[in-house]
Structure 1
Amino acid sequence: MSPLYARHKRTSLAIATAVAAGALLSTGLSTAASAQTPADSGKASPLAAAPTALTDAARTTLIQKAEAGAATTAQHIGLGAKEKLVVKDVTKDVDGTVHTRYERTYAGLPVLGGDLVVHTSKSGTTEGVTKAYAKTLKVSSLKAQVTPAKAEKQALTAAKSLGSDKSAADGARKVIWAASGTPVLAYETIVGGFQDDGTPNQLHVITDAATGKKLYEYQGIETASTGTGKTLYSGTVSLTTNLSGSTYQLYDTTRGGHKTYNLAHGTSGTGTLFTDADNVWGTGAASSSSTDQTAAADAAYGAQETWDFYKNTFGRNGIKNNGVGAYSRVHYSSSYVNAFWDDSCFCMTYGDGSSNTHPLTSLDVAGHEMSHGVTANTAGLNYSGESGGLNEATSDIFGTGVEFYAANSSDVGDYLIGEKININGDGTPLRYMDKPSKDGASADYWSSSVGNKDVHYSSGVANHFFYLLSEGSGAKTINGVSYNSPTYSGTTVTGIGRDKALQIWYKALTTYFTSTTKYSGARTGTLSAAAALYGSGSTEYNAVAAAWTAVNVS
């Protein structure tokens, strides 16, 4: 799991977010430019390499076809005799190009860091392969020298240091570890529990089965009608609800069946579905009551805007792109100052903040957290080091996209993260995309040590890249917020507009990024995405290159 914010070892807070079980969140504008850039206005024809929406039946057919041809594909792309492919997902572009994402097995064992994407033209010709591990897999021995009990003990020790009180692992399996170094036989041990701030935790520990050395660890957290939501952060909004008999339910049947539940300050289970007699939800004011509907209205609104953002911007049909909605839980624990996405329950959870009167249910937090689900079900960026920073940045980028998409007058779009929830207590946001270091910890530029930072701070490099690609460098005002974005060498960067920048990042995430992508690979992936969408050598392609150079990624 990954929370919306991270903790400075029991001192200060800084928003984090959830991965597969984790927690929280134009053309160059001149000074005092208006809110929207020309690139963000008007309707353009679909780009040839843009994703096209697939019906459930069409997606199932493509997956079944890929599964039937997996053995032939494995041979065609040069995998070894012991390697097999397992289909994870399929996307299709407007021009008919199909991108099939696979997991890899070796001698029947799952390969962590072995994922890959095969790109196939409309005619069926393989146009390229993007691999997390580029070589043919060879493992020196498949015989473990270390017992599963020793691996479990190591995992329990690691989990205990993070606040877990578990005395036994929740699960363990043999795997091939290929995400770093030479591929080896390993154990993946999972220990559940809670972090010291109360966030549900699912720690994955990878142990070398030959030496007992810990190789890696990461957190993995876990009939329609129109109602009125009186939210705390977004004003009065319309909510899609369901009428059951004479009772309204906070149940959106039009968006994959999303439901909003009340945990009533509990920490487990699904909770109780919110119901109401008059279809007016909340009061617009904060309340410490465990039955308060205002937080639920914010959560339901955030879920529907996030769904619509992905659907209408990228043609993505839900977090897993399969038409199935997640569910949301509010009033988690007591005075819990965080929010998190958990891929294991496919659900979104919100704490009520300090004194149970500051729920973390703002639009960009909702978009941020649920975007962790999109990442988990596409590139699966490992939640550690540079790939973890890219994972966090992806959620900040799409959370920002959701906020701009909603065009809500009470929470206008900006390049600030968590500015509404006031976690810092002084009115400042959690993160700044134009100059990430303004939060006191995030990186503006890449360096060889950036991967050693907490992922919520190493994400600054990609956040800065996205801002520069969208809006350009220098001083400007957008939607009433002043920005002044610097560059590594003092060069000037001209933005291409947020709409195009979002398309490029989404294309890269779903088509070219893998679980182990680092910043150099993100540059390569986004350039590939820009070339596919707009052409190699286009203005957009050159802007991507310039924006990465401006944050010292080459």
Structure 2
Amino acid sequence: MNRKTAMAAAVAAALTMGTVMVASSQSPALASGTTANGAGPQAMTTVGRLALLDQADKEAGAVAKALGLGPDERLLPKDVQVDNDGARHVRYDRTYRGLPVVGGDLVVHRAKNGRITSTSWAHEGAIKLNGVTPMLSDKDAASTATRSAKHVKEARTTNLDTSQLLVWAVGKVPVLAYRNTVTGAGEAGANSREAVLLDAGTGAVLDQYEVNPTVSGTGNGVNVGQVTIETSQGGSGYTLTDAAHGGTIVYDSYNSPQSNPAQNARTFSKSSNSWGNGSTSSRESAAVDASYGLAKTWDYYKSTFNRSGIRNDGRGAPAYVHVDNQLLNAFYDDSCFCMSFGDGSSQNGNTPLTALDVAGHEMSHGVTAATANLNYSGESGGLNEATSDIFGTMVEFYAGNTTDPGDYYIGEKLRMGNGYLRRMDNPAADGNSLSCYSSRAGSVDVHYSSGIANHFFYLTAEGTGAKTIGGLSHNGTPCNGDSFNGIGRDKAAQIWYRALSTYLTSTSNYSAARTATLQAAADLYGANSQERYIVSKAWAAVSLGTALPDPGNGNPSPSPTPTSSPTGNPNPGGNALTNGDFEQGTAGWTQSANDITNSTQQSAHGGSWYAWMMGYGSAATETLSQSNIAVPSTGSPKLTFWLKVTTAESGTTAYDTLKVNVNGQTLATYSNANASAGYVQKTVDLSAFRGQNVSISFAGQEDAYLATTFLLDDVSVG
């Protein structure tokens, strides 16, 4: 059953930025029907393909280990094919320290029983670079690219043409590189585009080619001003089809009803590539707003969370402007996978609901539907609405549009009577929204209960106190009179997105959201991080829970790199080991492989770093050790650590082992038979070594069949 929802009952049921969701039944992974025998591909439903991609993603860590990739590399499933005989072929893209690897793609071939039979590589083997800090600045790279372009004349860069850092693995030796897109006169016209690949160390041209998936046109929007938008050329004309963002098409709904915005819809098309005049006198102006806003939202999710479109499948959703009549409303509808924008009403001077943060808000409803799928009622509905406000706001900051600078006001461009639809810094200022949590949260309109999470996010990002942001006054007044600094909006957004995509479910309430964001902060920044502490203070500041004890870490700071050296006391809490929690990277440890990592393919017990040993699925050995450890001379000294064992083996036979050796003597052995769902604390008695300086090593050994992974964290001697 479809359900449209209101954005603000204060302007009747019309003022909305809601969402429509429908229930759907499960579909089988593979569609039924006649298929060819043997190696011919089976037909797959969309749901089945996504399920297989999800399976491939879960396997990615073990696959990377089995293929000998390093801890800085990550495999990202891109496509999958299943043969009639059950064989499976998974195509992966690769990243290195978060950077895309051009030429890093590969196909893993699996037999019906799941065993890897072979691999097709674009660049075989692990990627190894000295670092990912370029010698060439991005500005110098852009300048060099414009001078080096050969496919376009009078090359220039635009606000869309930025330098992208990546790993170029097309040649024999991978190098750090920049990819720039320059614009000039070429085969596709005055706005032809060319990609130029440069060595980020020397500035040498690695490759260059013309890019013509879309044509850049000029638009004048009602809300966003004059901007560059992506259009497509066909025959002698242009359409508002954005192939660079999943084929997103903006239609003129021609006042079709909200229930069916496509009823009278027509494509926007014309012979020239200039759109709108900045006012409502042109029907194209609202379409420019929508096209620009949806593209910026796509780019934000892609660049920030590596998410490709609403459903993360690279597919753009159609958008309809000029929906209905006098419609002070915009909404996302999951049943048609589309977004609709009204033209406003006399209540807001007939300003179209196509503002930048509104576009981000609506597209984010789709992201929520594709992840946590928060029910659109009660406290979960408030979380649903807040998620769209949060990411709509982040899109506004990301876009950097001088006509609509970033702020924490929602819909401030829509000419509402009080100047906005909602405020995240002070939700209650609209007279209806909740700034503080109470038992009423589940019974009020979701656009009002969203204020609690909006307020939490603002306080997490910006802290308390008065400030001016985007030219507007903000005042993050806490409900408990507290005072603290924020961690910055980018970190706050990372925490909220991880909570949304990893921990929240359809029925999550505010208490669950608090738990999820605390866990997300621990995942991203550490269990004892200042970031997690501020998250707890922000929830307490909106009257939900109490703040955690101050970890005493000072201001939040980025996670350390593997090459950083320990600072302060390397042995906190009396730990005789150096860097026992691995949060200082490799400091203090000797490893035979790149075991110490902060890879997100596995999880740490605490913080972000841990040791990932074994998991190859083939004969291998590894050691991780530390020397000159002063065992206490009194009491009952112990070696303690947290261990997580996952395995493809079965039964109680120890095929793959991890031994704990002290001065060459094996004191404990763990194996595939010790598999556990999570980390388990282990203790080894060191009484025989009181007062001695010892060497401790973890020695892993794996047989030729089936993988076992040993994860170590928070190792201590005391």
Q: TM-score higher than 0.5 here?
A: yes
The runs of 5 or more residues in structure 2 that have no matched partner are 24-46, 60-70, 78-212, 546-718
1:478 lines up with 2:469 in the alignment: yes
SS in 2 for 1:446: coil
Map 1:464-543 → 2, pairs under 5 A: 464-543=455-534
Is residue 18 of structure 1 aligned with residue 19 of structure 2?
Answer: yes
Q: 1:264 to 1:452 in 2, by over 3 A?
A: same
Match of 2:362 in 1: 369
- Say if 1:2 and 1:16, in contact at 8 Å, map to a contact too: no
Alpha-carbon spacing, 1:546–1:19, altered in 2? closer, same or farther (3 Å) = farther
Verify the 8 A CA contact 1:5 1:15 in the aligned structure 2: yes
CA distance in 2, matches of 1:378, 1:229: 33
Deviation at 1:63, TM superposition (A): 2.6
1:431, CA displacement in angstroms?
A: 0.4
Please say if 1:359 is aligned against 2:384.
no
* Other structure's SS at 1:428 match: coil
Distance 1:530 1:301, change over 3 A: same
Q: How does 1:156-175 map to 2 (within 5 A)?
A: none
**TM-score under structure 1 length normalisation:** 0.63
**Root-mean-square deviation (CA), in Å?**
2.7
Paired with 1:377 and 1:6, the residues of 2 have a C-alpha distance of 24
Which one has the bigger helix percentage? 1
Q: How far apart, CA to CA, are the structure 2 residues paired with 1:269 and 1:520? A: 37
CA distance in structure 2 between the aligned counterparts of 1:411 and 1:430, rounded to whole angstroms:
15
Aligned to 1:246: 236
CA contact (8 A) 1:327 1:348 kept: yes
Deviation at 1:421, TM superposition (A): 0.8
After TM superposition, give the deviation of residue 493 of structure 1 in Å: 2.4
Matched, 1:395 2:388: yes
Decide whether aligned partners of structure 1 residues 95 and 465 sit closer, same or farther in structure 2, where only a CA change above 3 A counts: farther
Matched residue SS, 2:391 = helix
Q: Secondary structure at the match of 1:226?
A: strand
Pair 19,462 (structure 1): closer, same or farther in 2 beyond 3 Å: farther
Instruction: Compute the TM-score of the two structures, normalised by the length of structure 2.
Output: 0.49
Higher strand share goes to which structure?
Answer: 2
Q: Which amino acid in 2 is paired with 1:371?
A: S
1:515 Cα deviation after fit:
0.5
8 Å Cα contact 1:2/1:21 also seen in 2: no
For 1:361 and 1:518, the matched residues in 2 are separated by: 30
Aligned 8 A contact 1:331 1:350 in 2: yes
Task: Report if aligned partners of 1:309, 1:402 keep a CA contact under 8 Å in 2.
Answer: yes
Does residue 228 (structure 1) correspond to residue 218 (structure 2)? The answer is yes
Aligned length: 368
The equivalent of 2:597 in structure 1 is: none
Residue identity in the other structure for 2:216: T
- Alignment of 1:260 with 2:253, yes or no, is no
Contact 1:251 1:257 (8 Å CA) reproduced? yes
The residue that corresponds to 1:63 in the other structure is 54
Q: 2:8 aligns with which of 1, 6, 9?
A: 6
- Quote the residue 2:310 is aligned against: 319
Is contact 1:531-1:537 (8 Å) kept?
yes
Shift of the 456–532 alpha-carbon distance from structure 1 to 2, 3 Å rule, reads same
Which residue of structure 1 lines up, in the alignment, with residue 538 of structure 2? 547
Mapped contact 1:229–1:238 kept (Cα < 8 A): yes
Amino acid at match of 1:377: A
Which residue of the partner structure matches residue 379 of structure 1?
A: 372
- CA gap of 1:328–1:532, structure 2 versus 1, over 3 A, is same
Alpha-carbon displacement from aligned partner over 1:77-100 (angstroms, at most 9, x marks no partner): xxxxxxxxxxxxxxxx9886999x
Aligned mates of 2:503, 2:243 — CA distance in 1: 33
Q: Is the contact between residue 319 and residue 370 of structure 1 (CA under 8 Å) also seen in structure 2?
A: yes
| 2:469 partner amino acid | I
**Aligned equivalents of 1:302, 1:489: Cα separation in 2:** 37
3-state secondary structure, aligned to 2:339: strand
Identical positions, percent: 51
Conserved 8 A contact 1:367-1:400: yes
Contact 2:251 2:320 in 1 (8 A): yes
Closer, same or farther: CA 371–94 of 1 in aligned 2, 3 Å: farther
CA drift at 1:428: 1.4
Q: Offset at 1:15?
A: 3.9
For each residue in 1:100-128, what CA deviation from the matched residue of structure 2 results, as whole angstroms up to 9, or x when unmatched?
xxxxxxxxxxxxxxxxxxxxxxxxxxxxx
Q: Which deviations, in whole Å up to 9, do the C-alpha atoms of 1:193-233 show, x marking residues without a partner?
A: xxxxxxxxxxxxxxxxxxxxxxxxxxxxxx41000110011
Does the 8 Å contact 1:20/1:372 carry over to 2? no
Query: 3-state SS of the aligned residue for 1:459?
Result: helix
* Counterparts of 2:22 and 2:356, CA distance in 1: 20
SS at match of 1:283: coil
Measured in 2, the distance between the counterparts of 1:57 and 1:265 equals: 37
Name the structure 1 match of 2:596.
none
**Any residues of structure 2 matched to 1:206-221 within 5 Å, and which?**
none
* Shift in Å, 1:476: 1.1
Contact 1:381 1:516 in 2 (8 A): yes
Q: 1:61 to 1:538 in 2, by over 3 A?
A: same
User: 1:434 maps to which residue?
Assistant: 425
Write the letter of the residue equivalent to 1:318. G
| Paired position in structure 2 for 1:111 | none
CA contact (8 A) 2:19 2:331 kept: yes
Corresponding residue for residue 152 of structure 1: none
In structure 2, distance between residues paired with 1:269 and 1:482: 37
Alpha-carbon displacement from aligned partner over 1:461-517 (angstroms, at most 9, x marks no partner)? 000000000000111112221111111210112100000000000000000100111
Question: Partners of 1:485 and 1:393 in 2: how far apart?
Answer: 16
Q: Residue 16 of structure 1: CA displacement?
A: 3.9
For the 8 Å contact 1:262–1:329, the answer to whether it is kept is yes
Partners of 2:261 and 2:323 within 8 A in 1: no
Cα distance in 2, alignment partners of residues 241 and 342 from structure 1: 24
Give the drift of 1:450: 1.4
For residues 553 and 372 of structure 1, do their structure 2 counterparts lie closer, same or farther at Cα, with a shift above 3 Å needed?
A: same
Q: Which residue of 2 aligns with 1:283?
A: 277
| Contact persistence 2:526–2:532 (CA under 8 A) | yes
8 Å Cα contact 2:17-2:361 kept in structure 1:
no
